[in-house]
Chain A
């Protein structure tokens, strides 16, 4: 059934998958993809609450949930910027060190 709780649980599962990916994988690209997953989950939560509050608000406060959707749009824009810069950094690291494995990036540690 299509309810707020189900949407939030879906978002929670996607977010948890993203957290899992960032923690468990050592490939930087997979970690970046997982971050995109988490951002998507957050957007889903924004849209869910926007929809719910739009349906429940009384006439003087009535709206179609624009605020939540706008926040989702802003997050999408920031995610695009993040992906561009992140991939640029990954490509530079790969060019300099020929690896995308986080365990091989220990210059500061040594």
Chain B
């Protein structure tokens, strides 16, 4: 049953990811992107990364997707068919080459890195992470975030603030 659901999720994710790229209407691409985000979130749940799945839903589906929708509505003629906005055969060739390269990298990675790393894991000493379970995972994320990764966490918050201020400054009309 789990296998069936997993394949269903994979099918939906791959199909919608390809639909994002090939859709003629930008709005259709955005809707397909929503499906892709949902599929990736489902895969996170399969990977026991429940917190990441929740963040994915909130940030991507609830935030970025809405932002993209707004940008599409603001900035382009949605009815306009973008069929000629593609670069035909050259692009297909480049895309196929890129896919081949990515697949080669994936195969290399799975053959080389499928065993545990020998380097020390900064989160290994967190007391709550001793057992491998979903609850321990969520607790461990909090302890990791407030422990070994406190500095990156704060830097990310500063980055978000700077990005938001920058976005406001960029779109603001000039006031003289």
Chain A residues, CB < 8 A from B44? 44, 47
If over half of B's interface residues share one DSSP class (helix, strand or loop), that class is named, otherwise mixed; here it is: helix
Asked if residues B116 and A88 are in contact (CB atoms below 8 Å), the reply is no
Report how far A64 CA is from B137 CA in the complex, Å. Answer: 5
CB–CB A34/B20 < 8 A: yes
Please indicate the chain B residues that have their CB under 8 angstroms from the CB of A66 in the complex: 123, 126, 129, 137, 140-141, 143-144
Residues of chain B with a CB closer than 8 A to A67's CB: 121-123, 144
Taken together as a complex, chains A and B put the C-alpha atoms of A100 and B60 apart, in Å, by 23
Whether B123 and A63, one on each chain, are in contact in the complex, defined by CB atoms closer than 8 angstroms, is: yes
B98 touches A16 (CB 8 A): yes
Q: Is the CB of B98 within 8 A of A20?
A: yes
Distance in Å: Cβ of A81 to nearest Cβ of chain B: 3
Q: Mark A74-105, 1 if CB is under 8 A from B, else 0.
A: 10111111111101111110100000110000
Interface size bracket, B side: 35 or more
Is B52 touching A37 in the complex (CB atoms < 8 A)?
A: no
Q: Which residues of A contact B72 (CB under 8 A)?
A: 29
Q: B114: which A residues are within 8 A, CB to CB?
A: 4, 52
The complex places the Cα of A18 from the Cα of B33 at a distance, in Å, of 11
Chain A, interface SS category = helix
- Contact A88 B171, beta carbon cutoff 8 Å: yes
User: Contacting A50 at CB < 8 Å: which of B49, B85, B95, B171?
Assistant: B49
Contact in complex: B75, A23 (CB < 8 Å): no
- Beyond A17-B18, A30-B21, whether A8 also contacts B109 by CB under 8 A is yes
Q: Does B71 contact A (CB under 8 A)?
A: yes
The interface bits of chain A over 10-38 (1 if a CB of B lies within 8 angstroms of the residue's CB, else 0) are: 11111111111101111101101110110
- Pair A70/B141 contact, Cβ less than 8 Å: yes
Residue in contact with B124 in the complex, picked from A13, A62, A80, CB distance below 8 Å: A62
A-B contact pairs, 25 of them (CB 8 A): A11-B106, A14-B36, A16-B98, A18-B17, A25-B21, A26-B87, A27-B76, A29-B68, A37-B33, A40-B37, A40-B60, A51-B49, A58-B116, A59-B130, A61-B124, A62-B131, A64-B133, A65-B49, A70-B144, A74-B156, A79-B60, A85-B166, A87-B167, A88-B166, A88-B171
